[in-house]
Amino acid sequence: MKKGLLYPHDFSTKEELEFVRPTDPRLHIILNVRLLLLMGLILALLGLFNCPLLWFLTTRSFSIDTKNGTFLKDDAPFRYVSGSLHYFRIPQIYWMDRLIKAKAAGLNAIQIYIPWNFHEPFPGKYVFYGNHDVVKFISMAHDVGLLVLVRAGPYICAEWDFGGLPAWLLSINPNMKLRSSDPEFLGPVIRWFQQLFPRLHPYLYENGGPIIMIQLENEYGSYVTCDQDYLSTLYEFARYQLGPNVILYTTDGPSMNDLKCGSSDRRLFTTIDFNVSEALLPNETFSDLENFQPNHPLVNSEFYTGWFDTWGGGRHMTPAEQLVVASETIWNYSTRVSLNYYMFHGGSNFGFWSGGPSASNAAITTSYDYDAPISEAGDITTKYIMLRDLIFKLRKETPPPLPSNITKKAYGTFPVRPYSHILYKLTGGIEAFRPATMESCGQYQGFMAYTTSIESLLSGLLTTATLRLPFIKDVGHVFTTTLSGDDFLYHASVKKPSNVSLPLDANHSVLAILVENQGHINYGEAMVSDVKGILGSVYLGDQELLSWTMTAIDPRNAIPAPTGQKTSPTHPALPEVGKLFTGDLEVPVTDERPQDTFAVLNGFTRGILMINDVVIGRYAPDAGPQISLYIPANALFLGTNTVKLLELSGLQEKCHKNGTSCTVTFRDSMLWRN
């Protein structure tokens, strides 16, 4: 028997088929057996490669019945209760845990955003592995028995850096017409969708996968542009890539003005979002949607379980009892209603991914707990239990046992010591006549140092001069340094145009401005031109400072200072602003594995926490409401773990001014200031 080309063994050889005459009744039996064997082999291979079910074996469909205003799943009326989970905010090791908890709560679907900048951090450089493996997350949801609603953007908001748009767009044109049909914007969008949509296509419901609907854009009715050509182009390209059947939808506020702009292309299915108070008056809340899009399902795509927090504000909480009453009210309003809880599990803004400050809001906290039914660290809450009981009551079903929580551990308090400064002995950089934006230098997150020589201005009799600064986004920390870059004087931290009195010191002849990007704005018209860096000319007295060097800085790679803490009269202590600290967290080697924990930074004010060279995120315990930072187990090793902190505002008394008594406490629960 000869070997086949496609499979290890080909059972349908030419010789065997010729032996049985076409009129022989045995032919049908043999061919049927061979067909079953072949189908079994294909199924086994598809299972091996984790492919969706064979779409050609059964007819699968998900559609809208415009006669009765309902969804049809395989031609039967269907309603969904889904919850938002963001794979990019959850460590990959916990994806299955969170999905199982969503399913155990009675959800039959989840809703996910896909942030463009998370997958294309640099132009043409695509990332779809590890925590970026969105297809794996969708496949895992399918394995658990959950349907999936995908919100593909390109803009998502989500309190995420630049609303999911890549900041490198601002390097093409800082005044680009975002979220419009302008070719400068639409060209990169189409190239991104050419990467994304083919990855999603095999997982559409009709193809055996879990994806029942795909959202284009997000709350576009609230945006200033209101460009119908833009929405139509997104729709037509999605149809071209994904086929004629999958439901393409939008989400907007419930007002008619929002709907007219957000779904100006009426081929898009329209959904709305609203809060607990609005849910108690469903007839009013759904009225504009009913008039705008009659005879369709009534969907709340963002039924808020809580709200996001910003640094310096209070913690936003929605009582579980109110959410349950509102949920039952909206669900019983009509059999046409489906809803998605935003968020069902919030997760964390690890690294530098949280949305940035605007004129009306401070930056988003590292925690994206959202007061959701599943906490930031994956714990079920009272809200989870009450919603679960309601969902199963409405279905007249008995809920399964409650899932268990992930183990947390308190590792104790460990000292940290100063070891360097973020500006210590900078090298490299991009040279320009005047300061350039961070984006134009290819630095889309984090920090950049702007340095220029002021030596020629130090020969006069003046002992001080006025440094005139333009807008700096988001914060500029002003230093003067030695030529060797190993000694610094700190002068001020500024945001808006400011005058800084600068001592003129012949030993510190280099002006260094450390610019801190606190995240790009994620919502509204203010996103346009949200470039970071020094945004204009800098003057010392009447003299414009020219010939700048812009150096991108990764705080994980700072060079240690010789002693970490200078004490001699000629080498004063490193400034507290920009100072780096390090210490060791010991995870007992006798433990089976590291456990989740929460870091409290004692005596620190505002900055960045890093563990084992992983940027956990921003801290600002004095500002609150978040005091501790969630540390997932996969950030830790058994044995010694290196903890680093970059302080950006100065130490508190409990840390002592020289920074020699600073500590970090690792506890087993989250700490908030309400």
Contact 603, 662 (CB under 8 A): yes
Kindly report the backbone phi and psi dihedral angles of residue 78, in degrees, each rounded to the nearest multiple of 5, phi listed first. Answer: -145, 140
Instruction: State which H helix or E strand residue 514 sits in.
Output: strand 510-516
* Catalytic hit among 206, 217, 302, 376: 302
Q: Dump the DSSP string for 84-137.
A: EE-GGGS-GGGHHHHHHHHHHTT-SEEEEE--HHHH-SBTTB---SGGG-HHHH
302 included as an active-site residue: yes
Cβ pair 515, 551 in contact under 8 A: no
Q: What is the DSSP string of 427-440?
A: ---EEESS---TGG
Angle at 422 between CA 419 and CA 425, to 5 degrees: 90
Reduced to 3 states (helix: H, G, I; strand: E, B; else coil), residue 261 is: helix
Catalytic residue chosen out of the listed positions 206, 217, 219, 576: 219
Interatomic CA distance for residues 407 and 220, integer angstroms = 41
Task: Give percent helix, percent strand, percent coil of the chain, each to the nearest 5.
Answer: 25, 30, 45
Question: CA triplet 419, 422, 426: central angle to 5 degrees?
Answer: 110
Residue 123, phi then psi, degrees to nearest 5: -55, 125
Instruction: Please report which helix (H) or strand (E) contains residue 278, including its range.
Output: helix 276-279
Determine contact, residues 324/390, Cβ cutoff 8 Å: yes
Query: Is 219 assigned a catalytic role?
Result: yes
Euclidean distance between CA atoms 54 and 39, whole angstroms: 10
Residues found in the chain: 674
Residues designated catalytic? 219, 302
